[in-house]
Structure 1
Amino acid sequence: MRLSTKLSGLWLAACAIAATSDKAVTNEDGIRSIPLRTHTLNSPYLDSDMQSRWFDFGGNTIIRADQYIRLTSDRPSQEGWLFSRVPLTATNWEIEVEFKIHGSGNLHGDGFAMWLTKQRATAGPVFGSADQFEGLGIFFDTYKNNRPGTVFPYVMAMVGDGVKSYDKSNDGKSDEFMGCSARGIRGASVPTKAKLTYFQDKSLKLELQYKAEDQWELCFSTEEPPTIPSVAYLGFSAETGELSDNHDIISVNTKNLYDTKNRPDPSTQKPGSGSGRQRGKGRPDKKKSGSWTWFFFKILMFVVVAGGGYVGFTAWRTQQRRANRF
């Protein structure tokens, strides 16, 4: 089902400013999260006009309001997508997606993708979306083309520069930023979820739930995350070829993240990791603490040396006086 809108970008931007919820939660690590409605999607998905205020849908996507958004059905040669209408401009965020990959055949394919890219709402050959994208793509690949030694389904991240093409014939091996095997993610007996967490210039982490509820498996994590475009749209897409599957999006929940502890930026504590930033005041500064320790150590050494010199000088004068008596 292709849904369109005549709402202007200005109106959407104005609504986006007012669309953050005040239901903030701070966890034990001091990370405060605020739900972001502009990039959140839950049943029934559509409003009273049978449209979505914040997302566009296209291709072979169908919507069952009480259950799922189906990007592709279990039929050959399908492709479908959904993309946010406004960009995700938050500096730090968490996106949790519940999805379901399932079908009736013993052979199945091809998979679906999660996008944070400058481009939006364009069908193409990369899991149903456009190639030569600029931004981040996360691919949930269920069909192995040519990648010896890799267990499928395989989940991988690719950073696109707007020029580089996805190497589909080799399952993106040469383009991989990070990834992991996720056997059991298709047709799992528990709700399957992906949680992508990003702190600008600090970290990127992908966790998966497919073995047991509330049990998150780390897929990948890095303290040197790629640069995501400042104007990036959140999207999902899927495709089938000769082989097929149902690729369903059940829910999308996005949150702005804030670090209330004002931790020191790791890039200021190790050479070559990026530009320095002002350290936070809410936590002791290790480097500054070390400088004070060295300062007091030098004072102590001065006292010891001066004291030793004074004792030596006193002993020498005493010896000279005794010698003069004779």
Structure 2
Amino acid sequence: MRLSTSLSALGLVACALAHPDVTTTDANGIRSIPLRTHSLSAPYLDSDMQSRWFDFGGNTIVRADQYIRLTSDRPSQEGWLFSRVPLTATNWEIEVEFKIHGLGNLHGDGFAIWLTKQRATPGPVFGSTDRFEGLGIFFDTYKNNRPGTVFPYVMAMVGDGSKSYDKSNDGKENEFMGCSARGIRGASVPTKAKLTYFQDKSLRLELQYKSEDSWELCFETSEPPTIPSVAYLGFSAETGELSDNHDIISVSTKNLYDTKGRDSTMNKPGNKGASKGSERYSKKKEGGSWSWFFFKMLMFFMVMGGAYVGFTAWRAQKGRSHRF
């Protein structure tokens, strides 16, 4: 029994060593660092049936082994999911796997991705509050009044805290950028959205819905909007007379750094504070990496020692049973 327990613990440590949070650098010199505080994956909830980093409400249902369902395929529902802490990274990438599906031939209304000062506030804009301050990305599946536009339609809106969403015209007067995405509802492949932001440099939205590992560019701009320095990451959805299931499958958020010195905020002339901050961050990460390495090694040797003690006891017990 001791041997089994010790070897099980050893297996858990081996898994932990084999699956750390991975920091990577791509061919363009962009380093990405995972942000646990703004990422989600099954089973979504901790042992106390709460999420450490996210709040949810409205008609949201958590199916721990499959999805977070913002709305079910029923009329007049709304649900939301918001981070508990703001996303303060200067540059970031958010990749969301989602699923929009239902039984009816007619369906609606859609869901939204938010980066706003407001959080966890139900309202008429895809289940969240109107007159928001920040960025909203709307996945609109029902066409109200927008001639010449193919639906589903994905659009970005930049809110200033006073501007109201033009719901009757599907946000036509509010659109910052957008694209048609026919086939994103009920797709045969995992549907994903990847939003990449570099402050004062670029904003890009890519979608996966035609084939797996194939990204379609929805929009990209070299003049991105200013996102509030304190902005919460959120998701919301709503149904009206028509309905759909709106599921969030996973969220992966990463902090981005340009290692080749092209970061528009870290390398602006005279922006010494940002440079010093990045130096402090690098030193902290380096020290933290060594500390974590020694901690893992210590755990490894402790588990190995426990396994040896358990194995020795087992052999002694076996020897005594043989003598009888």
Amino acid at match of 1:96: E
Q: How does 1:81-230 map to 2 (within 5 A)?
A: 81-230=80-229
AA matched with 1:210: Y
Larger Rg: 1
Q: 1:147 to 1:38 in 2, by over 3 A?
A: same
- 1:187: Cα distance to partner? 0.1
Structure with greater proportional helix content: 2
| Closer, same or farther: CA 70–263 of 1 in aligned 2, 3 Å | same
Structure 2 letter corresponding to 1:187 = G
Aligned partner letter, 2:87: L
* Aligned partner of residue 211 in structure 2, secondary structure: coil
Cα displacement (A) at 1:23: 2.3
Deviation readout 1:193-225 (Å, 9 max, x if unpaired): 000000000000000000000000000000000
Deviation at 1:123, TM superposition (A): 0.3
Is the partner of 2:168 in helix, strand or coil? helix
Look up the equivalent residue of 2:257 and give its one-letter code.
Y
* SS of match in other structure, 1:174: helix
Q: Determine if contact 1:265/1:276 at 8 Å carries over to the other structure.
A: no
Structure 2 residues not aligned, in runs of 5+: 1-19, 272-324
Taking a change above 3 Å as real, the CA distance of residues 244 and 22 of structure 1, as seen in their structure-2 partners, is closer
Larger relative contact order (CA 8 Å, sep ≥ 6) = 2
Deviations 1:108-133 (A, max 9, x none): 00000000000000000000000000
User: In 1, Cα distance between the equivalents of 2:54 and 2:199?
Assistant: 24
Indicate the residue corresponding to 1:313 in structure 2. none
In 1, distance between residues paired with 2:238 and 2:67?
A: 17
Contact 1:108 1:143 in 2 (8 A): yes
Q: How far apart, CA to CA, are the structure 1 residues paired with 2:112 and 2:31?
A: 28
Residue in structure 1 matched with residue 39 of structure 2 by the alignment: 40
Q: Is the 8 A contact 1:265 1:277 kept in 2?
A: no
Deviation at 1:160, TM superposition (A): 0.1
Cross-structure match for 1:260: 259
1:263 shift after superposition: 2.2
Count residues in correspondence. 252
Give the corresponding residue for 1:283: none
Question: TM-score normalized by structure 2?
Answer: 0.76
Say if 1:175 and 1:22 are closer, same or farther in 2 by CA, change over 3 A.
Answer: same
**Maintained 8 Å contact 1:154/1:182:** yes
State the alpha-carbon separation in 2 of the partners of residues 252 and 276 from structure 1. 35
- Identity, % of aligned pairs? 86
- Structure 1 stretches (4+) deviating beyond 2 angstroms? 263-266, 275-278
Coordinate RMSD, CA, aligned: 1.7
